[in-house]
Amino acid sequence: MLGHARAVDVRRDHLDTICRRWRQTGPSWPAGERVLSDERTLTWGARKPERVRPLSGASCNRLVAVLRRAYSIGKQKRGLVTPLTYPHYSEGKRGEYLTEDQCPAICANFQAKEGATVKADVFRLAYLLGIRKGQLAPHLQAARAHHRRHVETPMAGRGDQERRAARGETRGRAARHRAAGLGGAPARL
């Protein structure tokens, strides 16, 4: 990878080679450590070989975006000048539906210490109901607005006082209700 290379020494062919390797075998790294300016030491372990898998073009794009952002910050904060361009791969369509065969395969692979079957059942139910991410957003917004208007807003404030005065009620109606032996506060009209 880039290792200790200076930012101005990195070329496009370096990035192409790295992405090609990521797409063929997957990203890996050795164990290492780095001493920070405040004398703290960051250490990390080597990537386990069983975790190394080839990446898709979209995953490479996400990782290259981190590098692109680092170079952008270097340009803003440190005056870094470099003509570096970055590889970009085409990405598949997002939000494709699962097939009938994929859903049971996913459910069969739920791994949890407890409740794997319950999680699989909930996933299967969600699949069968067909509710997709964002599908209920307009309905939820309307329900939240209704809740704010009718549930969260108590009948208090000057408007409520004016309504009670118009009905001939006073502040002591709960006390009158208790004095009449009828228990707690009366129901609101």
In the chain, domain spans: 1-31+46-96, 98-131
Say which DSSP state 185 is in.
Answer: P
Whole-angstrom Cα distance, residue 67 to residue 86? Answer: 9
pLDDT along the chain (189 residues), means of 10: 84 94 92 92 92 92 94 93 92 75 85 81 82 69 71 54 59 60 54
Q: What is the DSSP string of 48-86?
A: PGGG--PPPHHHHHHHHHHHHHHHHHHHHHH--------
Whole-angstrom Cα distance, residue 170 to residue 173? Answer: 6
User: Which pLDDT does position 109 carry in this prediction?
Assistant: 84
User: Which pLDDT does position 54 carry in this prediction?
Assistant: 94
User: Which pLDDT does position 185 carry in this prediction?
Assistant: 52
User: Which pLDDT does position 80 carry in this prediction?
Assistant: 92
Count of CB atoms situated within 10 Å of the CB of 138: 9
User: Which pLDDT does position 189 carry in this prediction?
Assistant: 46
User: Which pLDDT does position 161 carry in this prediction?
Assistant: 60
